[in-house]
Amino acid sequence: MSNNSVSKTIYLDYAATTPLASAVHEAMLVIERDIYGNPSSMHREGRRAFDILEQARLDTATAIGAKSKEIIFTGSGTESDNLAIIGIAHAYKKFGRHIIVSAIEHKAVLAAAHRLESEGFEVTYLPVSSDGLVNIDECMAAVRPDTILISIMYANNEIGTIEPITLLTATVKTLRGENPTPLFHTDSCQAVGMLPVDVTTLGIDLMTINSSKIYGPKGIGLLYLKSGVYLEPLIVGGDQESGRRAGTENVALAHGFALALKNAVANQTQTNKNITSLRDYFIENLFTICPDIILNGHKQNRLSNNVHVSIPYIEGESLVLMLDKDGVCCSTGSACSAIDLIPSHVLRAIGINDELIHGSLRFSLGTSTTKEEIDYTVVSLEKCISTLRSITAMPHMWQKNTL
């Protein structure tokens, strides 16, 4: 196939962010144009804004099986993670000062945990298997009488591994005595639209969701906070979000987020079916053009849109730039840590050496991805790998596979 067969940009970085759905955009435009009141104001324009905001809250809650009062709108998934980790730690420190997180959590969770360590909290970083799975027995063994919070992501943003959240939460609940702790938080930003996110079924106390991962607007996320669980707000100065997050809410973003979440949950089954087929086709072709490629993450328990690979004797950033010249957009890993070029903590946690880490790529498919785009990407990738390996300082090593 000629690399001239596809003239448009081929976007394969949906795990970083998704394009805004047309229907969501159009719905938001109406709100932005017609609804200008502050939802905290008592006059008619304020009430109009308040009604739309609360309808968005109800719609998002319904989509995940929650109650309206359990939804806190935030500015992003990162903020939601921070609010969950730091807010719960501060609110429940009378029960203990120990939290547990997995070693492959999103940078927002790990950074929040590091901050708590500087405040005198103790943090246990759970190891994972070579395919990224948390061991339930190891998690339970790490729980102490003073453990107040466990945070394990539903699906990893880099390698796509899906964690056994329902089994983990069911086991955690058996450890609770008279105290309400340990509480359980999960970051579900990558899972929404790919996996069931009913909060009752999952058995979680807190859950993070980000609008920009589900074809919704950027600049808004949510934190599900189970009734009866309380936290200390990070942003103060107003009574918005029931006193849990100060600042005038963006009604248009909330409206768009609610619509995007509703669509993502409703279309999950069909989306998974379509994307899984393309993902498996993509992986099969990658091994055909590059037999020594390494697929990272769990082979079965992985997100339907995730293809994360390590390519020996290749520098990942160079490959990303070469693919970009061919119109293919992918990444070397999480968009939240790719800029600093620090080796991925996720890949290190699953035992990948630094050389292979630097030769890693993440492709993430979306609802608009086509077989033609996958074919084009495979051809482009084969050409780019060949070019890079031909100019490496050690061509004889990769050719003989002796490195």
Query: Which residues are registered as beta bridge partners of 74?
Result: 221
Calculate the alpha carbon distances from 92 to 42, 85, 148, 205 in Å.
35, 11, 7, 14
Residues taking part in catalysis: 336
CA dihedral 327, 333, 339, 344 (to 10 degrees): -150
CA distance linking residue 223 with residue 221, whole number of Å:
7
